[in-house]
Amino acid sequence: SATITSLSSASSAASGTFDLVFNSQTYASIPVSISAKDLAARLQTSTDFGFLNVKRLRDCTGYSYIIEWIANGGQKSTISITNTGSVLPAGTTVTASRVQSGGVLFKPLSGDMTRTYQTNPQVEVFVGGYPSQCLGTSTCDFQWLSSQTPSVSAVSQSSMTLTITGTGFSTTTTSNKVIIGTSGSCTVTSATTTQLVCTISMAPSGTYNIQINVDGKGLATGTSSFSVTIPLQVTSISPIQGGAGGGYSLNITGTGFSSSSSVLIDNNLCTNPIVSDFSLITCTVPSTARLTNTQVSVVVTSGSSTATSPTQFTYDVTNTPSITSTNPSVVTMSGGQLTITGTGFGSDSVSVFIGTTKAKVRSISSTQIIADLPSIAPGLYQIQVATANGYARPAFQIEYRFYVQTISPQVGSLYGGNDIYVQGEGFDNTTTISFTDGTNDVSCNVVSFQSNQILCRPETAAPRIIISSNGVDPTYGSVFAWSPQFATVQQGAIVEWQWGSSALLTTLAYKVQQVANGYSTIPLSGGFDSGNATASGSFSYQFQTIGTYYYWTPAVDQSGLIVMRGVINVVAAQPRTLTVKVSSRSFT
C-alpha cells in the first residue's frame, strides 16, 4: 500500500482583468490568463503597436508576458497597468517593466568595419555593395607621384592651331587628349615628350582654359594659367536661295557654334536649329513677306558674339505657292476634312501640317488640297502647306474648340443621382464627363448630348478604398497581411478587399469577416462577411455608420496557423469639392 500526504494546498489560479495603458491609449479588461496569441491580436489593433511577438511564461498562478516589437520600431514609451481591483487571489499584483530598449543589428557588417590598416592609399572594389578582398601585400596600393605628373609651361595660339610646351607628354599623338573648356577638343597632330601641336576641331566660341590628359599618367598641372580663344565665324551657307514661304533646311558652316547659337535670316528666326560638331548648324528657313526676289543677311549669334555669312541668302518669290482660303476655320474634336485653295501647290511632294501634326492628304491639284484633320488637343493652330518649292504663304489658322463654360447645379448629394448640365463647345458622342479631386474620379453618366451641352448623372462621390492581401507579415512574409492593416475612411466610403494567391502559394484561401474586437474569432451577427474562402477574388462593403470595425481572415494556410486581421475606422463624411473633367478622343 502507499500513503500520500498533502504538504500544502495548491496555489489558486489567477483570475480577473486589468487595463494596459500605452501612448495615452487604454486597452481595457485584459484577462490575466489571456493567451500570448490573443494578447498580440488585441494590441495589434492599434497602429501604436504594429506587429508584435508575444511570449507567455510561467503558469496559471501568475503568467508573465514578454512583448517584442518586430515592426514599427523606434523608441517606445513605458507601458503602465491600471484597474487591477478585480484580480484574484487578493493581493495579486500586475506590473509592467522594460526588459530591453532595442539595439542595432548590422547584417551584413558594413565595409568600414572590415577595413585593415594600410600606410598607402588603397583601391577599393565593391560588388553588390560588398567590399572585395585584396590578395597579397601591396596588391591594392595606389600613389600620386609628382614624377608621373605631366606639366604645361607655355601655350601659344595661331588661328585654330595650338602649340603646347611642357614635360611628361606621350610621343604617341592619340595618347594625348587636349580638352578646351568642358566640351571642346583639339586634335593632336604631332607630339614629343616636351611639345604638343593640335588643331582646334570642335569647340564653342569664347575664351576657355585647357586641360591635357596623358594616357597612363592623367591630367597635367599648370594649365590654369593659360587660355585659348575660339572665334565665332560663318564660312558658307547652303542652299543660297529658296522659296519665300520658307519651311526648308539651311546649312550654315563655320566655327564656334554651340547649342545656344541662334540664326537670323533677314532678322527672322531660323527655327529648329541643330548644331553638329560646333561647326555646322541646320535650321528651318522662315517665310518672308517680301513680294520680289530679295537678297538678305544670315547672322549667327552665340552669347554676345555675332557672325554674318559672307554670302547672302536670296528669297525667290517666282515659284512660291500661295494660299487664298481654307475651310473650315473652326472645328470640334471630331475633326473632319479641310479644303485648302490657292496656287502653285504642284501635284506631288505636298504635305499639310496643323501646327506640327501632319494631316493625311486625300487629293492634290495645283489649286486645291483636301486633307483629313488630325486628332489634336484643343487650341488655335497654323495651317502649313509644304511643297517642293517650300511652304505656301500666307499662313492661315484653324481652331479646335473644346471647352467647358458653365456647370449647373454646382452642389449635389454625396451619393450622386442628380442631373448635371455641362455647357460648352465641341461635345460629341465620344465625350465623357467625370469629377475629380486630383486623385480619384467620379463618373457622370451621359444621358444626352449636343455640341454645346451635355446632360449627365453622377455616380456616388463617396471615396473607394482598396485593401490588398499583398501586405507583409514580419514573420510569414508577403501575402499574409492586409495592406493597409489600419484604414480610416469617411462615412459612406466603399472599401474593397482584393486577394489572390501567389504562383508559389496556390493553396492559400481568403475571406473577410467582421468580428466584435481585435482578437475575437466569432463572426459578428449582422456584420459584413465575404462568404466562402477563395484563392482569389474581391469583396466590397459600404460603411454608412460612424465607428470602429474589426475584421479577420480565418487561417489562410492549410495548416490552419496564419490568420490576418484589420481595423476600419469610420469618421464623419466631409463635403467634397471636385473639378469637372470633360474628355473627348483622349483629350481633357
Transcribe 273-341 into DSSP letters: EEEETTTEEEEEPPP---SS-EEE-EEEEETTEEEE-SS-EEEE-TT--EEEEEE-SEE-TT--EEEEE
Residues 208 and 291 in one domain: no
pLDDT higher than 80, residue 105:
no
- Are residues 310 and 334 located together in one domain of the fold? no
Range of the domain at 196: 148-230
If asked whether residues 361 and 309 sit together in one domain, one would say no
Identify the residue with better confidence: 439 or 40: 40
**468 and 555 belong to one structural domain:** yes
The answer as to whether 109 is a domain residue is: no
pLDDT higher than 80, residue 356: yes
- For the stretch 545-556, pLDDT in tens is 999 999 999 999
- 216 with 247, same domain: the answer is no
Conformation bin of residue 256: beta by default, left when phi > 0, alpha when psi is -120 to 50 = left
Of the three residues 400, 418, 437, the one that is the final residue of a domain is 400
Q: Is residue 587 situated within a structural domain?
A: no
Specify the DSSP element, H or E, that contains 219: strand 218-219
Please count the other Cβ atoms lying within 10 Å of the Cβ belonging to residue 107.
Answer: 4
Residue 10 pLDDT > 90: no
Residue 376 has pLDDT above 70, yes or no: yes
Whole-number percent of the chain with pLDDT over 90: 40
Written as nine digits, the cell of 5 is 500526504
Q: Quick count: other Cβ atoms within 10 Å of Cβ 257? A: 28
Instruction: Answer yes or no: do 224 and 239 share one domain.
Output: no
Residues 378, 416 within the same domain: no
Does the CA dihedral 423-428-429-433 come out positive or negative? negative
Q: State percent of the chain over pLDDT 70.
A: 97
Domain boundary among 82, 114, 130: 82
Say yes or no to pLDDT of 409 above 80: yes
Q: Tell me the β-bridge partners of 298.
A: 265
DSSP, res 38: H
- Identify residue 379 by its one-letter amino acid code: G
**Confidence class for position 44, pLDDT limits 50, 70, 90:** confident
Structural domain count, the chain: 6
Q: How far is CA 514 from CA 50, 440, 472, 518, 527, in A?
A: 20, 27, 21, 10, 5
Non-local (6+) Cβ contacts of 16 within 8 A are 31, 32, 84, 86, 87, 88, 92
- Pull the grid cell for residue 519: 482578437
Best mean pLDDT range from 279-293, 429-443, 452-466: 279-293
Q: Which three cell numbers mark 309? A: 555669312
Q: Are residues 256 and 310 in the same domain?
A: yes
Q: Are 276 and 182 members of one domain?
A: no
Tens of pLDDT along 46-103?
888 888 889 999 888 788 999 988 877 778 889 999 999 999 988 888 999 988 877 7
Q: Are residues 304 and 218 located together in one domain of the fold?
A: no
Residue 170 belongs to a domain = yes
For residue 132, being part of any structural domain is answered with: no
Query: Across the chain, what does the average pLDDT equal?
Result: 88
In single-letter form, the type of residue at position 73 comes to G
**In this structure, is residue 419 part of a structural domain?**
yes
Does 253 lie in the same domain as 209?
A: no
Q: Enter the pTM of the model.
A: 0.46
**548 and 468 housed in the same domain:** yes
List 564's β-bridge partners, or say none.
553
Place of cell 526676289: 293
Give per-residue pLDDT as tens, 509-536.
999 999 998 888 999 999 999 999 999 8
Q: Is residue 583 part of a domain?
A: no
> Where does the pLDDT of residue 259 fall: very low under 50, low under 70, confident under 90, or very high at 90 and above?
confident
pLDDT at 503: 64
pLDDT for res 560: 87
182-238 pLDDT tens trace: 888 899 999 999 999 999 888 888 888 999 999 989 999 998 889 898 889 999 999
User: Could you give the 3-state DSSP secondary structure of residue 112?
Assistant: helix
More confident call, 502 vs 153? 153
Read off the pLDDT band of 273 (50, 70, 90): very high
CA atoms of 125 and 133, how far apart (whole Å): 8
Q: In this predicted structure, what is the pLDDT of residue 283? A: 94
466 bridge partner residues: 496
Look at residue 81 in the predicted model and tell me its pLDDT. Answer: 93
Cα distances (angstroms) measured from residue 213 to each of 108, 157, 164, 315, 562: 40, 19, 13, 48, 65
pLDDT band at 504 (very low <50, low <70, confident <90, very high): low
Q: Does a structural domain hold residue 306?
A: yes
Per DSSP, which regions of 367-415 are E strands? Answer: 368-372, 379-387, 390-391, 396-400, 403-408
For residue 77, is it within any domain?
yes
| d(C-alpha 333, C-alpha 376), whole Å | 8
In the numeric block, which cell numbers belong to residue 573? 463624411
Q: How far is CA 422 from CA 104, 351, 400, 415, 579, in A?
A: 61, 38, 19, 19, 12
Pairwise CA distance, residues 36 & 559, whole Å: 19
Q: What is the CATH number of the domain that holds 285?
A: 2.60.40.10
pLDDT for res 501? 64
